[in-house]
Amino acid sequence: MNEVKVKRKSPWRLVAGAVMALSAAAIVGQGVLASLNATAFNTVAENVNSGDLKLSLANNGVGFSQNINNLAPGDVVNRYVTLKNDGSLDGINLSLKTTATGTPTLLSDAVNGSTNQALRLTVSSCTVAWDPTTGTCTGGTITQEIAASTLSTLSNATNLSSGSMSSGAFKYLKMSLQLPDQNERTINGTLPSNTVQGGAVAITYTFDFAQRVATTTNS
């Protein structure tokens, strides 16, 4: 009599089949959950533009384009320049720094221990353009922006007293350079030591300002 042999399935095959069945069910379930989606966006693009900060300097009259020659003690030479905020952002903290080289006695009082020897620069502004031929501020208001200071002092940036400039604004400046009154004696054609006579300096004026204070707006 022939025996009928029944082949048993491997337990591992049973487990694998169960795993596959569960995976298929999971995939089907995920497909159901992910079948619906929604999206929203602005149909008109929002444009964002950054501002810029620009400062320009122009001579009013001869300005800084012409040398100053043959100064004597007590002389004052006024030169006129115009600053403009050419940027779209308002500017604040306008300052001036001078870079000057040349005869030490014209740069600083410290050379002779004097309190009134070196060149002095005073900066004034007018609310309208100065008349460079007469030095008048007709119809405007004059403000002293920087009191008389030596060039060595101004080698550190010094803030102007009214240092805010809105976008498109002008600052009309008078730059007054003076060699103070003082006494020196030349003997038999020999100049005294540490003299202010026969000297020369070269000056670069650098104006600087910063952007307005950052703001937070709501709309």
pLDDT of amino acid 7:
52
> Domain for residue 172, yes or no?
yes
> Domain for residue 63, yes or no?
yes
pLDDT of amino acid 123:
99
pLDDT of amino acid 13:
60
> Domain for residue 22, yes or no?
no
> Domain for residue 157, yes or no?
yes
Pairing of strands 76-85, 120-126: unpaired
> Domain for residue 218, yes or no?
no
pLDDT of amino acid 3:
52
In order, the DSSP letters of 41-99 are --SSPPP-------EEEEEETTTTSS------TT-EEEEEEEEEE-SSS-EEEEEEEEE
> Domain for residue 148, yes or no?
yes
In the structure encoding, which two tokens stand for residue 52, read together?
Answer: 């810029």
Q: What is the pLDDT of residues 149-169, one digit of tens each?
A: 999 999 999 999 999 999 999
Counting the structural domains of the chain, the total is 1
> Domain for residue 45, yes or no?
no
pLDDT of amino acid 115:
78
Instruction: Decide: 76 and 178 in contact? Cβ < 8 Å.
Output: yes
Instruction: Decide: 192 and 186 in contact? Cβ < 8 Å.
Output: yes
Encode the chain (219 residues) as per-residue pLDDT tens digits: 555 454 555 555 655 555 565 555 555 555 556 689 999 999 999 999 999 999 999 999 999 999 999 999 999 999 999 999 999 999 999 999 999 999 999 999 998 887 789 999 999 999 999 999 999 999 999 999 999 999 999 999 999 999 999 999 999 999 999 999 999 999 999 999 999 999 999 999 999 999 999 999 999
Burial class (CB in 10 A: 0-12, 13-18, 19+), 173: buried
Q: What is the pLDDT of residues 23-50, one digit of tens each?
A: 555 555 555 566 899 999 999 999 999 9
Q: Domain of 110?
A: 55-183+199-211
pLDDT of amino acid 8:
56
Residues 6+ apart with CB under 8 A from 93: 159, 163, 209, 210
Q: How many CA atoms lie within 13 A of 211 on its CB side?
A: 10
In the structure encoding, which two tokens stand for residue 3, read together?
Answer: 């025996």
